[in-house]
Amino acid sequence: MTARTRVKLDERTRLPAVAAAVGAALTRHRIRAVLTGGACATIYTRGQYQSHDMDFIVVRTTTQAQLDTALASIGFVRTRDRYIHPGLPFYVEFPRGPVAIGDDYRIRPVRRRVGSTQVLMLSATDSCRDRLAAFYHWNDRQSLDVALGIALAQRVSVAVIRRWSVAEGFSERFEEFLDELRRARGRRRVSARVSATRWPRRRGFV
């Protein structure tokens, strides 16, 4: 993303575009950081889940001054450990690394296209695991709902999630997640059949 194609950030800018702008600013300043947490869930659920914070984990040695300069280039200012933008409801934080989900530190970020740029972020499977970790450890039912939303909207590896869940000691809670996912997929199939019956295709229409 060049200076000419930078997104103008204002109150109408949605989180995915803001995350892309932050990621592009970091890249321009040669800072490698991975988008994690709720912002990934917002992107993968296509806005079904809304987060107001963007957590980027820096994976190379970077100074506070470098982060300040990079974020200032798109209008963010630092207040303690948080970067805020006067025209946005979203804020940026840089939690201490490394990138991990539970006890799994072998995380491979992916580059996902958001608008006209790419964001280095957790994969859909890892984002789902990240939300499940909160459900497993803190019985956070909202996090379970978000994990289900990711699994419904994206292609995730159930086998990877199963192995990780067993290794974390939460095989029973994984089965609860899997049962909920099956029910949700079943409801979606029924809804699709009802819609198709209610609104049959006509010649000349799709």
Q: Are residues 51 and 19 in the same domain?
A: yes
Domain boundary among 72, 104, 122: 122
CA angle 88, 94, 95 (to 5 degrees): 130
Of 123, 174, 172, nearest to 144 (Cα)? 174
* pLDDT (tens digit per residue) in 140-173: 999 999 999 999 999 999 999 999 999 999 999 9
* pLDDT (tens digit per residue) in 107-118: 999 999 998 899
- For the segment 99-124, the average pLDDT, to the nearest whole number, is 95
* pLDDT attached to residue 39: 97
Which region among 92-96, 122-126, 178-182, 188-192 has the lowest average model confidence (pLDDT)?
Answer: 188-192
- What is the DSSP secondary structure assignment for residue 60, as one 8-state letter? S
Domain that holds residue 191: 124-198
- Give kind and range of the element (H or E) at residue 44: helix 37-44
Q: Are residues 106 and 144 in the same domain?
A: no
Q: Are residues 23 and 113 in the same domain?
A: yes
* pLDDT attached to residue 186: 93
Band (pLDDT 50/70/90 cuts) for residue 55 is very high
Q: Are residues 66 and 48 in the same domain?
A: yes
Q: Find residue 77's DSSP bridge partners.
A: 84
* pLDDT attached to residue 116: 85
* pLDDT attached to residue 74: 97
* pLDDT attached to residue 49: 96
* pLDDT attached to residue 142: 96
Q: Are residues 29 and 92 in the same domain?
A: yes
Of 197, 120, 128, nearest to 165 (Cα)? 128
Residue type, 36: T
The SS3 of residue 129 is helix
Domain boundary among 106, 122, 138: 122
The encoded tokens of residue 56 equal 């980027």
* pLDDT (tens digit per residue) in 25-46: 999 999 999 999 999 999 999 9
Domain count, the chain: 2
For residue 185, is pLDDT > 50? yes
CA angle 131, 118, 8 (to 5 degrees): 100
88 domain residue, yes or no: yes
Q: Are residues 19 and 52 in the same domain?
A: yes
Q: Are residues 45 and 27 in the same domain?
A: yes
Q: Are residues 157 and 117 in the same domain?
A: no
112 domain residue, yes or no: yes
The encoded tokens of residue 122 equal 């957790």
For residue 13, is pLDDT > 70? yes
- For the segment 82-89, the average pLDDT, to the nearest whole number, is 96
How far apart, in whole angstroms, are the C-alpha atoms of residue 126 and residue 75? 30
Q: Are residues 166 and 139 in the same domain?
A: yes
Of 161, 132, 154, nearest to 43 (Cα)? 154
DSSP β-ladder status, 53-58 and 91-93? parallel
Q: Are residues 66 and 141 in the same domain?
A: no
For residue 88, is pLDDT > 70? yes
Q: Are residues 157 and 116 in the same domain?
A: no
The encoded tokens of residue 201 equal 């295709």
Domain boundary among 77, 92, 122: 122
Of 121, 117, 96, nearest to 39 (Cα)? 121
Residue 2 CA: distances (Å) to CA of 17, 58, 73, 99: 15, 22, 13, 28
